[in-house]
Structures are given as C-alpha cells and as structure tokens.
Amino acid sequence: MPTVYFVCIGNTCRSPMAAEIFNQIGRMRGIAGAKADSFGIEPFYRDSGDVKQLREFAVRKVMGQVDGLAGHRPKGVGDIVFEDGDIIIVLDSRKAKEFADQFCGNPSRSGKSIRMCTVETKDPFGGTVKDYIRCCLFLKGEIEENFDQLTGLTCS
C-alpha cells in the first residue's frame, strides 16, 4: 500500500497533524498497511514547544488521543524516500504548483511514480488553540471523507 505524505510549508502544524489523524483513522478502520507521514516544502524554522503543545492538544481534542505525533520533528522532502504509487497531498495551494513541477512532474527527480493532489488548509501557525482545533476538525473531515481514495488508487 502506498504511503500518503501530507505536505505543508514548515512541517510543524498542518502536515504532522494530518498524518497523525490519517494513521489513527486507518487503525480505527482496521486497514493494515495504511500509513501516512509528513514533510515540509521549506522546513526552515525550529519546532517550538508551544507549537508542539498546540498541535498535540488539538489532535487529542479531535481524535481523543495522540500516538506518533509526540515524537515528530520537522523534516523536508530530502528526508523522504519515495516509493512507486505514493501519494502527496499538499496542504497549501500557494506552493502546490512549484512543488509539483519540482518533485511530482519530474519522475527523474524521485525516480518513482508519485501522485499529487492539493487540499487547501488554513495554516494555524501563530494562531490560537481554536485555530489549531479548527484545522484538525477540517483535516479529520477531509481524511474521513476521502480515506478510500487516499488508500486506493486514485487521488483527484
């Protein structure tokens, strides 16, 4: 089964929360092998304790628990080893075309067949607890609604 990669700018808020939510939903549905990870297009800033607390609180509030998110450290595309069929979901449309041109539209870049789609998600970075919770609720809704597509062969 392909890996679903969630991508945002810095890999501190949206994408790690989305990966955590996806992985929890996969386990709840009993789908062996459904897995997600995350990375940033420009992970140029450090992951602060405040951001960690906000994202973990929001995921716990929305999902009831936090599993793999506690150990998250921001990483970039260079830290990822892609496999054929992997799916990349870019959570920021401002960077989607640039990213697609560099990494997905150029198979020689990764050497793999990678599919990509964009889900516009408001960045809670620098916001309140409510902003993080709203982001998690949105991500959970999108992931639940599209889980079969994300674990299957399509990404529209």
Please report, for residues 25, 78, 102, the alpha-carbon distance to residue 110 in angstroms, rounded to integers and kept in the order given.
28, 10, 10
Domains and CATH numbers, the chain: 3-151 (3.40.50.2300)
Which segments within the chain are labelled E, that is strand? 3-8, 35-40, 87-90, 115-118
The Cα 105–Cα 68 span in angstroms is 30
pLDDT band at 103 (very low <50, low <70, confident <90, very high): low
122: pLDDT strictly greater than 90: yes
Four-CA torsion 130, 155, 105, 84, nearest 10 degrees: 110
Q: How many CB atoms sit inside 10 A of residue 147's CB?
A: 17
pLDDT band at 153 (very low <50, low <70, confident <90, very high): very low
Give 155's contacts (C-beta < 8 A, 6+ positions apart).
87, 89, 115, 116, 117, 149
**Averaged pLDDT of the chain:** 87
pTM (2 d.p.): 0.90
What is the tens place of the pLDDT at every residue in 33-50? Answer: 889 999 998 887 677 889
Model pLDDT, residue 10: 92
Nearest Cα neighbor of 13 from 101, 132, 129, 107 is 132
pLDDT at 109 over 60: no
Indicate if the pLDDT at residue 110 is higher than 80: no
Distances (CA, A) of 55 to 6, 85, 111: 15, 29, 33
Contact 74, 47 (CB under 8 A): yes
- Reported confidence tier of residue 68, pLDDT bands at 50, 70, 90: confident
Query: Radius of gyration (Cα) for the chain, nearest Å?
Result: 14
Query: Which residue would you say has higher pLDDT here, 101 or 132?
Result: 132
